[in-house]
Amino acid sequence: MAWTRMLPSGKYQGIYRDRRNEERSAGTFTQRAEALRKAAKLEEEQRGPLALDVKGGKITWGAWFEQWIDARVLAYSTEDCYRSTAGNHVMPQWENVKLEDITTLDVSKWVRKMLRPPKRSKVKPKSPWVVRNALMLFKTSLNAAVDDKRLALNPAKKVEYPDLPDGLERYLTPDEAEAIAFYMDGLNSLILWVGVQTGLRFGEVAGLHWKRLDLKRGVIRVVEKFDQKEGVMNPSPKDKEDRTVPLPPDLVGQLRRYAEHAAPGRQMSCGIRHTAGRCDSDLVFRGPRGAVLRSNEWGRGPWKRALDLAGIEDRVRPHDMRHTYASWLIQEGVPLPEIARVMGHSDEEVTRRYAHLSDAGFDTVRDALTRHRGLVVAEPEPDPVPLGLEERLAALEAQVAALSGRTAAHTASSPKTALSDASSTSVEQAS
């Protein structure tokens, strides 16, 4: 409650208590009523429901983060995750900045700098997933500061999250897959290579039986899928026919060596109930103590550990091995219907999800536009000739055939198609 005090000069001083209950002056006035009105107004401003804690905004973000995280009840893993995001991405910029000094413009600049660091700084750009997590954490912490009356508004509120490329899906590059495999033990790295080189769903990897593996032919027949919720083997896919997936030669080699150690056929069944069909062999892969693999356990265990060691900070899930498979095939020009077939998807589904990764057919469109204007279509650079003598001859023959073919019919077969066909066959034979 505000009050007044008469000063020796005969004037009135308005007095009130602030948020910390300290007496404060509202100024001196000739009229007592005026002094009282002013003091009451200031008191309302500083103690009312909308009032700010004036000193609260002077805390640094780093100190606030500690208070905020300590006050929250979080799962240990979540807290670890927050702390590592804060330590790696937020602290470097904001640790010593007072909350009241944080501006929207500076937050925008920070986000931009993470995504596109200045060229001279030689800092690597952070991935949009990392930036997104960092900004999310920062915004949440500042929302809490608003709730705590340290800030009137959240300065980061209007700053937009970066776009995530390729929708929400994340693909591993071959280098990343190598790095992850490097930090896994033998069995788990084999599971990884099966994942990224067959595109099997994790439940299909877990439900893979030795009888479905034909290493002579170099194929897997995908028939069963482990349902980790129900703990049963379901047919996979549910309503469609089973599918056959080819194995690249290096994976056949790895699986053959593994089969020697794992001695398939020791057990005549997997011991899990099959909801359709009969079980006639053991599982190819099992987790600790012989348990059937579960994607969440595997994702938290060997997968996460290897990702951490490899320094991959994005949220990549075991399921992304399947997306990785599709993206590798598409980038090598495998036609969408063929990808749909080996993945057990419909054509439309594959087109919807992965077509944006493919440049196939773009050259035809480019050539058509150029030709229609009467311009000369540029000759594509021939691909590097493979090393083997036989392959080199085959490539040359293909080139000659394509060249003579083109004089007859301009579009029948471009040298690029002929050449890349020849070289891709040779790569397959070589590896």
Q: Look up residue 303 and give its DSSP letter.
A: I
Helix (H) or strand (E) holding 38: helix 32-47
Q: Which is nearer to Zn ion, 51 or 279 (CB)?
A: 279
Helix, strand, or coil here: 99?
helix
Nearest distance in Å: CB 259, Zn ion: 17
Q: Distance between CA 121 and CA 113 in Å, rounded?
A: 10
Residue closer to Zn ion (CB basis): 279 or 385: 279
**Cα(133)–Cα(88) distance, integer angstroms:** 11
Nearest to Zn ion of 247, 270 (CB atom): 270
Smallest gap from Cβ 224 to Zn ion, in A, equals 7
Total site size for Zn ion, rule CB under 5 A? 2
Among 279, 312, 334, 377, binds Zn ion (CB under 5 A): 279
> DSSP for 220-285?
EEE-EEEETTTTEEEESSSSSPPEEEE--HHHHHHHHHHHHHH-TTSSSS-SS-BSSS---S-BS-
- Closest CB 266 distance from Zn ion, rounded Å: 14
SS3 state of residue 5: strand
C-alpha closest to that of 331 among 155, 216, 172: 172
Look up residue 271 and give its two tokens: 């011991």
Q: Give the per-residue contact string, 231-270, with Zn ion (x = CB under 5 A; - = no).
A: ---------------------------------------x
Selected range binding Zn ion among 154-162, 274-282, 312-320, 399-407, rule: CB under 5 A: 274-282
For residue 291, the minimal CB distance to Zn ion (Å) is 14
Candidates 24-32, 37-45, 272-280, 311-319: pick the segment binding Zn ion (CB under 5 A): 272-280
Minimum separation from the CB atom of position 200 to Zn ion (A): 16
In whole angstroms, how close is the CB of 236 to Zn ion at the nearest point? 12
Selection from 178, 189, 198, 199 nearest residue 247 by Cα: 198
Q: Confirm or reject binding of residue 284 to Zn ion (CB under 5 A).
A: no
Shortest spacing between CB 222 and Zn ion, in angstroms: 14
Rounded CA gap, 345 and 166, in Å?
18
**Residues forming the site for Zn ion (CB under 5 A):** 270, 279
